[in-house]
Amino acid sequence: MLPDFSKAPDGLLPAVAQDVRTQEVLMVAWVNREAFEHAIKTGRAAYWSRSRKSLWVKGDTSGHLQKLREIWVDCDGDSILYRVEQTGAACHDGYFSCFYRRLENGAWSVEREKVAEKPS
């Protein structure tokens, strides 16, 4: 089953980016048909930026690329999994993964080290 972009009123489906080597979940973003087709055509993870209302190819401005290795879709065709080879930080805060904080005993702690400086 191909992704069904008609399932969401705004045409956006959630996409999880996972590092193909470590299996770590890197980030969650939104993908529309344009971003999905761009990703397939170029071999680079592409998303739809809701804040900028434009195509967002991971790494175009930061240099922290996501090279697509596999694309998966869930059973309902309404969620996408990009398995990527991550170069540098996936997170705009400078961490390899956006999931760097963990709740432990009622308190949040940072569980990873930064791999890049946060852009100003």
> In Å, how far are 17, 51, 58, 59 from 86, measured between CA atoms?
9, 23, 10, 10
pLDDT of 75: 93
For the stretch 51-99, pLDDT in tens is 999 999 999 988 999 999 999 999 999 999 999 999 999 999 999 999 9
Q: For residue 114, what pLDDT band results from cuts at 50, 70 and 90?
A: very high
For the stretch 16-63, pLDDT in tens is 999 999 999 999 999 999 999 999 999 999 999 999 999 999 999 889
Length of the chain: 120
Asked if residues 70 and 40 have their Cβ atoms less than 8 Å apart, the reply is no
pLDDT of 1: 67
CA dist 13 and 119 (Å) reads: 27
pLDDT of 2: 86
**pLDDT score of 118 more than 90:** no
Domains and CATH numbers, the chain: 5-110 (3.10.20.810)
